[in-house]
Structure 1
Amino acid sequence: MTNLLVLRFSAMGDVALMTPALIAIAAKYSNIQLTVVTRGNFAPFFYNIPNLNVLGINLKKYKGLLGLWRMYRDIDKLGPFGNVIDLHGSVRSRLIAFFFRCKGVPYAKIIKGRREKLAQTRRYNKKLNQLPHTVERYLNVFRKSGYDAPLQGPWLNVDGESKMFAKDYFKSIGIDKKEGQWFGFAPFAGHELKEWSFEKCKRLVEVLVSEFPDCHVFLFGGRDEAKELEILKNNLTPVHIVQGGSLGIRGELGIMDRLDVMIGMDSSNVHIAALLKKPVIGIYGTTHPVSGFGPFAQEDSGVLQVDLPCRPCSIYGNTKCWRGDHACMELIDPLDVVRRIRLIQNVNTLW
């Protein structure tokens, strides 16, 4: 059985987006073993994929060139490997791959399309051609290694432990069964420029509770965002806080799996919910889905945005607003989200 070494260390959304590609490869090639090396807490994304093992690592243990050599030695113990599939293309992953190449292991790495993305994000004379989705870029790396497979669902599996965590969480907040509509809202992102203003986030929570009297709103955030989440909750009874720090990825997956709609910025929460095939509303401003980072299989219906000549100004949101007024986000109103929810409801009813 050929053992394929798959490397992707971060970020969480990008790691989660590996799952459709890995499921496709595992479904077509029953004679291969997939060894995925990533951060240990990301392992729940790969539950129930046949012939797949996860080596969860703590990157803090492998600092510097000597640390990368030790990482290579630890990974090599799981070999021998037939191919190295580098889905990250970072300095770290390329060095690990280099060590394997020195012993004759074939290597293929992701093509990120940096030149095309630069043409999209420059200030003037932008070229907004649709670029391949990240999932498609992952599949292309497998193709270069001789493994071609069509995409097929599910994109992401939820295991029994995730469902149990979710059940315990719902019980702790006094919900015994699902009634009404359940909305998830993730108001934060990895970079501030990808976020709505806090006042708009607060207004959205209030509007959701007002427009959908039977709803429950679940606010997703980390431990360092606890105070902001409490302010957004504002003692509203149907609003609940989901803190990833205490529930972990497994718990969050179990909760997302019960939602009717997930709302958020261009962030991992929206991408993960899309992989669970939940309707999503991703609020895009600084970034743009044409860069290949739209919600998977919902690049059109799952995106809320306004057309401005300055968009996108960044691929990741780690830049400054050229206009100085953050208009790409500020021109989107909470009521626009409500209208999109009603459109999703109508489509689901017709379906």
Structure 2
Amino acid sequence: MGDVALTTPALIALAAKYSNMQLTVVTRGNFAPFFYNIPNLNVIGINLKKYKGLFGVWKLFVELKKLGPFDKIIDLHGSIRSRMISFLFSFHKIPSFIIIKGRREKAQQTRRFNKKLVKIPHTVDRYLNVFKKAGFEAPIRKGPWLNVDGESKIYARDYFKSIGLDKKEGQWFGFAPFAGHELKEWSFQKSVRLTQILLEEFPDCYIFLFGGKEEASELEILKNGEKRVNIVHGAQLGIRGELGIMDRLDLMIGMDSSNVHIAALLKKPVIGIFGTTHPISGFGPFAQEDTGVLQVELACRPCSIYGNVKCWRGDHACMELIDPLDVVRRIRVLQNVNTLW
């Protein structure tokens, strides 16, 4: 989801420079809210379950071809499915341009020994480079890079009203303690401690916990009956609801996960806790790769691009060495340099 959201700065740049260009984005249907209000852009929302296997790829190609004619195919995914579809379009003399993901450079960064720790292009820059190869070069525009539609604002309004916050008061902090892979997460006790410390250090703050249905019990533990701590059930609100709520926040704290990336695209100050992964691999919070990342430098980092590995040291030091008080200190720094709250 984060990778899809990160296409928006590139698409906004293209739409701004080439006002006569018609863009058609093909993605999962529930990701459509990310592309709201981008000029001359249509979203084709698909359910990938309908397009499994080789026959599914052919079926998707046939359906997409009917939506044309297209002048060029821009593959920002680089998966087997998207490459096959690009190949099929080539038989109809429609050129395709495919993202270079830098797998070799990433492998050099994440190998256990003799790492080559050279910063590589951010994912957004890789997206822009694909368009550049296709003949469309454009500079990044000033954010925010996600627009919140009216339906999202209604979801957010109803949510805040349901918890007794009709009007904004104090500081509103989002906290997303989970990630797609366990090794990208803090120990749960650190998340518990951070919630307690935030309430103590910022007496006027309200905390909004982001998580899925499967994490409901842990979120209730974090809430611990506190009136100033509220749970944002992503499964119930959907992406639109979460966008509307994030748009009202003063700060988002989280692991290296889609929540932090989405908040950064909304141009909200973020604190992303990075351990297994590293922003030099091109996945830092967009436009906040320095101030928006909390990390400790260890010789074993990064050990993964996505967090789907086992800890070589066995002690998860990259995350365990980051203390909840470090988060508080970073909030103080952001408050001093940021006028958003």
Alpha carbons 2:33, 2:240 under 8 Å: kept: yes
2:134 to 137, 141, 145: 145
The equivalences for 1:93-104 within 5 A come to: 93-104=82-93
1:112 to 101, 112, 120: 101
Corresponding position: 1:331 with 2:333 = no
Secondary structure at the aligned position of 1:97 is classed as helix
**TM superposition score normalised by structure 2:** 0.98
Kindly provide the CA deviation profile for residues 48-79 of structure 1, in whole angstroms up to 9, marking residues without a partner as x.
Answer: 00110000000001111001100111111110
Query: Which residue number corresponds to residue 184 of structure 2?
Result: 194
The equivalences for 1:1-351 within 5 A come to: 12-154=1-143, 155-349=145-339
Task: Tell me which amino acid in the other structure corresponds to 2:259.
Answer: N
Q: Distance in 1 between matches of 2:40 and 2:167?
A: 36
Q: Distance in 1 between matches of 2:182 and 2:161?
A: 33
**TM superposition score normalised by structure 1:** 0.96
Secondary structure at the aligned position of 1:227 is classed as helix
Task: Tell me which amino acid in the other structure corresponds to 1:196.
Answer: W
Q: Distance in 1 between matches of 2:300 and 2:28?
A: 35
Kindly provide the CA deviation profile for residues 194-248 of structure 1, in whole angstroms up to 9, marking residues without a partner as x.
Answer: 0000110111111111111111000001111111111111111100000111111
Q: Distance in 1 between matches of 2:141 and 2:21?
A: 18
Secondary structure at the aligned position of 2:22 is classed as strand
Q: Distance in 1 between matches of 2:33 and 2:66?
A: 23
Task: Tell me which amino acid in the other structure corresponds to 1:221.
Answer: G
How large is the Cα RMSD of the aligned pairs?
1.1
Secondary structure at the aligned position of 1:162 is classed as helix
Report how far residue 348 of structure 1 moved: 1.9
Task: Tell me which amino acid in the other structure corresponds to 1:276.
Answer: L
Q: Distance in 2 between matches of 1:130 and 1:63?
A: 36
Bigger Cα displacement from structure 2, 302-311 vs 123-132: 123-132
- Where does structure 2 lack aligned partners over 5 or more consecutive residues? none
- Where does structure 1 lack aligned partners over 5 or more consecutive residues? 1-11
Q: Distance in 2 between matches of 1:251 and 1:225?
A: 18
Q: Distance in 2 between matches of 1:117 and 1:247?
A: 35
Q: Distance in 1 between matches of 2:314 and 2:325?
A: 24
Secondary structure at the aligned position of 1:32 is classed as coil
Kindly provide the CA deviation profile for residues 154-209 of structure 1, in whole angstroms up to 9, marking residues without a partner as x.
Answer: 31111111111101100011101111000000011011000000110111111111
Alpha carbons 2:260, 2:272 under 8 Å: kept: yes
Q: Distance in 2 between matches of 1:64 and 1:349?
A: 51
Change beyond 3 A, Cα 1:327–1:30: same
Q: Distance in 1 between matches of 2:38 and 2:9?
A: 10
Task: Tell me which amino acid in the other structure corresponds to 1:111.
Answer: I
Report how far residue 153 of structure 1 moved: 2.6
Question: Between Structure 1 and Structure 2, how many residues are aligned?
Answer: 340
Alpha carbons 2:175, 2:207 under 8 Å: kept: yes
Q: Distance in 1 between matches of 2:67 and 2:23?
A: 11
Alpha carbons 2:250, 2:340 under 8 Å: kept: no
Report how far residue 127 of structure 1 moved: 1.1
Kindly provide the CA deviation profile for residues 242-264 of structure 1, in whole angstroms up to 9, marking residues without a partner as x.
Answer: 01111111110111111111000
Q: Distance in 1 between matches of 2:79 and 2:142?
A: 29
Q: Distance in 2 between matches of 1:188 and 1:110?
A: 29
Secondary structure at the aligned position of 1:336 is classed as helix
Q: Distance in 2 between matches of 1:202 and 1:45?
A: 31
